[in-house]
Structure 1
């Protein structure tokens, strides 16, 4: 068997195993009265919190880089170490955001599949119609929320790449000339971070609206 085929089989097996773990988790939670919609609300909250944490880390990295660029005496190594720490913290926060978004999408898919299947169990055409309308409305609002989350997520990558480039450059060229050299990149990084902040704020706002809607119509 070719290596590519073996790798593909292994990946598929892992996906199925993870999917099975999630299904088992949802079933176990339902047995203790925690349903998929409750898990979805909790995960949207967790994602919102991780986005706010990520905003703080990126802002801290920007402020650290600003201080470094305007460096006026002192120990460059200390300033570099602090910037590197901020980059590592930003990277960890960004990974947490992505992980949480994936968890949100997973439970939402499970919820909507279950909701759709249960429509067929109705005997009352009126109740079925009302539930179907509520499902469609919830799916539309969730689609908007997920789009906001993914948009903000996509803007983390260029910021992280730029921060990493600056950290790597300074690591091997830790002197005043190196600091001056990265000033040209600073304007673009500052712009990218502002765009990220704007998208994060939009996503957080949409999260609050979605949570409110789910709690109101639950």
Structure 2
């Protein structure tokens, strides 16, 4: 099967599964708006977890910089563990944001389509106005999330570089060579955490908007 056809079928199946999921949830009284709130809250928690993991990774590199004899293999394993945990935390944030985008597309498409069903011009205008303000709030939140998501990549890159370098250079001189990485990582993590906090603040405002 050609590659692009396989990709198309995979996306179609995933889209179909999501549509069936939303329909099933609606039958038990859980609507897309409710799912959206849950997923935004999950993304907030994922970002908070990523912040904690990044801070832990920074502490690990700080301890490595202060290394003064001991088990080099153990030092490498600790940094490798910090990198893997950070990678998992970032992947979780990415997945949570993708899940938000999925339900948002479904919710806004449905809302737009249902505008055509109104008989009352007044109610239709009011619903259309609320759709537009909700989209604006959502886009502001998503932009903040994407900005924070992008800031996580340099953190992972630095941690990966440190891990790979130590893996093939397990000696005290190698640790000395990594000392300059600490300041760089500290700056990257500070920037990522700052943007994640902004994204969380926007998320909370969006949730408040949906719950009005």
TM-score range, shorter chain: over 0.9
Number of residue equivalences: 212
| Residue of structure 2 in register with 1:148 after alignment | 144
How many angstroms apart in 2 are the aligned matches of 1:176 and 1:115? 62
How many angstroms apart in 1 are the aligned matches of 2:45 and 2:178? 32
| Residue of structure 1 in register with 2:74 after alignment | 78
**2:177 maps to which of 166, 178, 181:** 181
- What is the CA deviation profile of residues 128-163 of structure 1, one whole-angstrom value per residue up to 9, with x for unaligned ones? 111101000000000011011111111111110110
| Residue of structure 2 in register with 1:109 after alignment | 105
The Cα shift of 1:72 comes to 2.4
| Residue of structure 2 in register with 1:33 after alignment | 29
Partner SS state of residue 117, structure 2? coil
Contact 2:86/2:156, CA 8 A, preserved across alignment: yes
How many angstroms apart in 1 are the aligned matches of 2:139 and 2:183? 33
How many angstroms apart in 2 are the aligned matches of 1:184 and 1:69? 9
Partner SS state of residue 72, structure 1? coil
1:1-218 equivalence runs, <5 A: 6-216=2-212
Contact 2:56/2:82, CA 8 A, preserved across alignment: yes
- What is the CA deviation profile of residues 162-208 of structure 1, one whole-angstrom value per residue up to 9, with x for unaligned ones? 10010110111111110111122222221111110111100111111
Contact 2:39/2:100, CA 8 A, preserved across alignment: yes
Partner SS state of residue 155, structure 1? helix
TM-score computed with the length of structure 2 as normaliser: 0.97
How many angstroms apart in 1 are the aligned matches of 2:93 and 2:50? 8
Contact 2:58/2:182, CA 8 A, preserved across alignment: no
Segment of structure 1 superposing worse, 178-187 or 85-94: 178-187
How many angstroms apart in 2 are the aligned matches of 1:59 and 1:188? 14
How many angstroms apart in 1 are the aligned matches of 2:208 and 2:76? 43
Structure 1 regions of 5+ residues with no counterpart?
none
